[in-house]
Amino acid sequence: MGKYERVYQDLSSKIDDGTYPVGSLLPSEKQLTENYSVSRETARKALALLTDRGYIQKIMGKGSVVISHSQYALPVSSLVSYKEFAHAVGASTRSELIDFSETLLPLASFKSLAKDLQSEETIAVTRLRFFDNEPAIIDRDYILKSVVPSIPQEAAETSLFEYFENTLGLSIAYSSKQIKVEPAQESDRKLMHLAKGEYVAVTTSVTSLEDTTAFLFTESRHRADKFIYQDFARRR
């Protein structure tokens, strides 16, 4: 881990724990170079990370102001796995493996996100996610067999991300996603206990590795009444 990442870690945790409350100023760049014994560029890199993750707003001639920064978004944003999200919010969560099989990638669901998709063999994992013991999300992941030849049952039951990154050493880089609202299907109603005429929020995402290989295709169907998506954007 680079120096600037350590500075970032330290500053972000001090913002989280209230050492630097919302509205206060962080130490100036010059002070940071002294406190952490780094060059100004390194300090600025750490501040840049804080900036685009919504921790601070830099004001020319004044300094870096801590701004309020939401931490409880659904795992749609900022590309975190369900397990990481559950751990972060500390809610009572569990998930149940519904299906675990092999199939061809359903092109239609993802072609609006990724052009030039080929029909490829995938492993499909369907899981039902519970929040506070209520079924809230149906996740269906398609993983390219050409990238991940097989998945242990245990990884499918706990965390796919962890398996990809830690066990296989894959470097997950970015993801593009889409959110729509659809009427609940029969299977949605059954698994999530929905009445007829209810709706679900559907997020579809394509996740790629650092070498730009799109390898993970996910469709996530959320109970509309439990669905909240949060986002932070800058105008630049």
SS3 string, 7-34, reads HHHHHHHHHHCCCCCCCCECCCHHHHHH
Interaction of residue 23 with DNA, rule CB under 7 A: no
Residue number with CB closer to DNA (4 or 85): 4
Interaction of residue 61 with DNA, rule CB under 7 A: yes
Q: Which amino acid is at 78?
A: S
Interaction of residue 225 with a copy of itself, rule CB under 8 A: yes
Question: Max Cα separation, the chain?
Answer: 63
For residue 83, the partner it binds in DNA, a copy of itself, none, with Cβ less than 5 to 8 A by kind, is none
Q: How far apart are CA 118 and CA 138, in angstroms?
A: 25
| Contact (CB, 8 A) for 179 and 76 | yes
Q: Which of 167, 164, 166 is nearest to 213 (CA)?
A: 164
CB under 8 A: which stretch of 69-77, 88-96, 103-111, 128-136 binds a copy of itself? 69-77
CB under 7 A: which stretch of 2-10, 111-119, 214-222, 224-232 binds DNA? 2-10
Residue number with CB closer to a copy of itself (130 or 229): 229
Q: Which amino acid is at 140?
A: R
Binding-site string for a copy of itself from residue 90 to residue 129, where x marks contact by CB under 8 A and - marks none: -----------------------xxx--------------
